[in-house]
Structure 1
């Protein structure tokens, strides 16, 4: 037995562990019993020109072997982390989801086929080959979204309103689809996808009916086949561009809507065989028609929501992930936090530019001291050109994440506004 195990300390490997999430993990209840082992860096996992996923997988396994006894593997990032986690859990013999269950969620077209088998709450959709197709699918109405079957952070997800726009979107997607699509196909080959999925590889897209309404996310976990709901989060989009403005917890939709989301999620989870993992499912709900539609199924929780749950419930959703990885029941707190409502706000710039001045660590600390209930995470550095940064959408540029807790949404908005005014950014065009 290692000294760490003798002392009751459990080692948990975390692919792509960044400083912000390390701080969240280390203040978890019972955090003194955990050692979080960084596994690969987020830069090599997501931000390179290429993603050599099989080499990264082998490197991760070697790092695990050198680390000695490892009790669990967790991950809260999208591809390739989310797809590697089942393989790394199997490598160390810890609880985790199966690779095929994760693939059934992550492959956007395969996921839609699985959803269609058990629910009606999905948009019209069709498979599209950007290398061969020139006309939009007849059974998907405009406006539609065209997306690679695997991408992250809405990369290459394009909204089109006519046939010319469809062809333009495919031209853009063709240029960039291989960066994620090809390594995704390499990991798919380690699983057992049906022939009609495997035959297309990762260089294909799904066209989906553009659905209107309020965007919501149901967060929870699955253990021994049983779904447990942590809560529902509102996603509020900007009015000027189709970019996310903020996440707000708890959601303000009626409880009956959350109950329907829970029912739909349960049917999907059972269909795809997802187990021993956190998850989140994104929905649209149209208050006028009462239509509920699944947007996306993610076989991981959202690290973007961690501090929201911490503010309101008393512990971040990371806690459920850690306890599941160790084979424990999550037993999450509820409404035991210091705030009634919380939000993650995206501070954005609409125009491209080069950062000439960004807030210093001392200035960030002073802003957080001046505006209670806030945490500021600046995500640009001096000299960065915004259009060259990773993890950006196609319509605007994130420059900081601002986490806010408060008594109501008006107080959240006031605190965000004060932070935005106090943070000194300067950009050259």
Structure 2
């Protein structure tokens, strides 16, 4: 019998990935809202998007067997509302917010894994006395600030001085309400403790600086069972906070990965998160042998889909679809054609610039042909401004992504260099 799965923000690349999953021969995938509405914009009218989605679902002449997504805010926070209304599987809104509301998340973590989280406090960026109040919470320079509802690495800043804080505050005041106001709507739909409700969507977090070797544990919860299934290394450019590439499988020692998996089971069970995928970002401080939990994301990492397919034989969208349909995920290990795989981010470190040249489709195809199985996505158009790109960190712009696999990590890096020699981007009006 045909199963109907509605995918919020479905694009062509992910529609193709979905056809290669296991056990989808009887599944029909339906797009629900467009990528332009949910990921290619900074304007999130959540009530309007929910109303449009409900209109599509209400008029559908057939069974609604699953409603899923693979995108961060606002998709992740809309899913529990839609799934509850239409009776499909997903985590509850409250358990999801215990991950996505960064202050609530840290408070919950402090109850069961206090030794794995940094000092933290919430603050209002529109409060002129915010810096003094952060000091009263026993946070000293350096510390890190980010929105209470972060999206990617957007509006995250390392603060080493009052001048850094003033710069970050200026940026936060200018841009944070684009996420804060729609997030407030989501918060209004949830049952929350009074002390958490007082920390509104435009608030920010200040946290002790933590660091080390960064990784992401991908996992899911099925009927109360927490299952970590893969760890991906997050490798940064030297001396900056921007990511250079993601590497799967992780090169961290097995004993460290085992401890991270135990922490993962503890916190996700405590939160009560169930029947949905997630990932948790960690640091391992090799010098002190300290493991820090950075944050929990209530979705699979879209960037890791091709990595799992190359190494394990199937994209971990398998997890999202199976859980949405109420099935235990059929996620293999080590059945792919490659031993290692990575996503590389080609970045430029400008404050802004105009894109004066981009590779043609033919040039991108030639570059990809340098290494079998390579896929390249270019994110910019000629004459566009880098500052128009959505979901960028505070220190660079990701111009393109390159996914590829290899027999070992050193070969993977060499392959990337060969591909990039064939890609030519140029910029004018550069703001250093």
The two structures have a TM-score, normalised by structure 1, of 0.95
Aligned pairs for 1:156-235 (under 5 A) are 156-235=155-234
2:31 matched residue in structure 1: 38
2:408 matched residue in structure 1: 408
CA shift, 1:29, in A, is 2.4
CA shift, 1:35, in A, is 1.8
CA shift, 1:74, in A, is 1.1
SS at match of 1:418: helix
Return the match for 1:65 from 51, 58, 61. Answer: 58
2:384 matched residue in structure 1: 384
CA shift, 1:129, in A, is 1.4
1:5 matched residue in structure 2: none
The 1:31/1:354 distance shift into structure 2, 3 A limit, reads: farther
CA shift, 1:49, in A, is 4.5
Contact preservation (8 Å) 2:318, 2:329: yes
CA shift, 1:65, in A, is 1.7
SS at match of 2:135: coil
1:354 matched residue in structure 2: 354
Q: Which runs of 5+ in 2 are unaligned?
A: none
2:397 matched residue in structure 1: 397
Superposed CA deviations along residues 311-341 of structure 1, whole A, max 9, x for unmatched, are 1111111001101111111131110110000
Aligned pairs for 1:126-141 (under 5 A) are 126-132=121-127, 133-135=130-132, 136-138=134-136, 139-141=138-140
CA shift, 1:411, in A, is 1.1
Distance, in Å, in 2 between the alignment partners of 1:263 and 1:399 is: 37
2:102 matched residue in structure 1: 108
Distance, in Å, in 2 between the alignment partners of 1:164 and 1:358 is: 36
CA shift, 1:177, in A, is 1.1
Q: Which runs of 5+ in 1 are unaligned?
A: 1-7
Moved more, 353-362 or 146-155: 353-362
Return the match for 2:111 from 114, 117, 125. Answer: 117
SS at match of 1:218: strand
Distance, in Å, in 2 between the alignment partners of 1:384 and 1:70 is: 40
Distance, in Å, in 1 between the alignment partners of 2:380 and 2:215 is: 28
SS at match of 1:115: helix
SS at match of 1:166: helix
Contact preservation (8 Å) 1:274, 1:299: no
Contact preservation (8 Å) 1:47, 1:390: yes
**Pairwise CA RMSD of aligned residues?**
1.4
2:5 matched residue in structure 1: 12
Superposed CA deviations along residues 99-130 of structure 1, whole A, max 9, x for unmatched, are 11101100001100000000020011011111
Contact preservation (8 Å) 1:376, 1:403: yes
